[in-house]
Amino acid sequence: MKLIVAIAALAMAIPAFAQDSGWIGVSIAEQSDRGVLVRSVEANSPAERAGLKANDVILQFNKQDVVGVMQLTRLVNETPVGRTVDVVIRRDSREQTLKVTSEKSRLSFGQIRVQTPDVSVFRDHFPSQDFLVFRDNVSNSVRPFDVITSMGMTQSGIRADSMTPQLREFFGVKAGEGVLVAAVDANSAAARAGLTAGDIITSVDGKTISSPQDFTREVRSKNTAFSLKVVRDKQEREIRVER
């Protein structure tokens, strides 16, 4: 399975497109077991002051189970600056809880985040063993210089993230089209309509979607129901969202 993704080394050290994004100053990577691996901790960062160390495994952040790099990156970015949250880690086969206070990013608005796609959103699309093979293949295909940028937006309970050319090719989406559904609010109209994390949205009411900005603009302009063209398991389908 050939899927080239970017390194996760800066995933949480550099926030993206949000002036007041939360920041704790760790670099993380996917791993084969639950949680994500801490690769490094920035000096004089909230993470260092809280006691986080390289090779710790983050299992929970703010009482939410950690399932992947992108999900944890989003949780940190969405944490209000100055808020203290519990972070459950595993170190030397023992779990412990640390308290980390989010700070405002040290970088100015307009900087980008370097990250890997969060393959955990595709968990429900694979039998359990096949998902582990898929995730390991993604991790093993990392290239240190294959750097991508990513951003995401939430609209109508749908978290839409940008895609790389490699992801489009892998999931059978036309070049330059589509956004990845990273999360769907459980009580939203989209969830009731059957949209799930891991779907690829390629159009809204017939208008092609190429970025999270496109998706947000089109959905925001709809006062009532709208139709999404979705690619799931390399098959196109239409989902009608009734507001």
- Identity of residue 57: V
Pairing mode of beta strands 152-155, 158-161:
antiparallel
User: Is the domain defined by 151-241 classed in CATH 2.30.42.10?
Assistant: yes
- pLDDT tens-digit series, residues 46-71: 999 999 999 999 999 999 999 888 78
Best-predicted range by mean pLDDT (3-7, 56-60, 178-182): 56-60
Helix (H) or strand (E) holding 238: strand 235-241
- Min mean pLDDT across 6-15, 42-51, 182-191 is at 6-15
Select from 134, 103, 124, 125 the least CA-distant residue to 3.
Answer: 134
Distance CA 7, CA 143 (A): 7
The class of domain 1-150 in CATH terms is mainly beta
Asked whether the predicted pLDDT for residue 230 surpasses 80, the reply is yes
Confirm whether 1-150 and 151-241 share one CATH topology: yes
Distance CA 242, CA 231 (A): 19
- pLDDT tens-digit series, residues 141-154: 444 333 334 455 66
Q: By CB neighbour count within 10 A (0-12 exposed, 13-18 middle, 19+ buried), where does 65 fall?
A: exposed
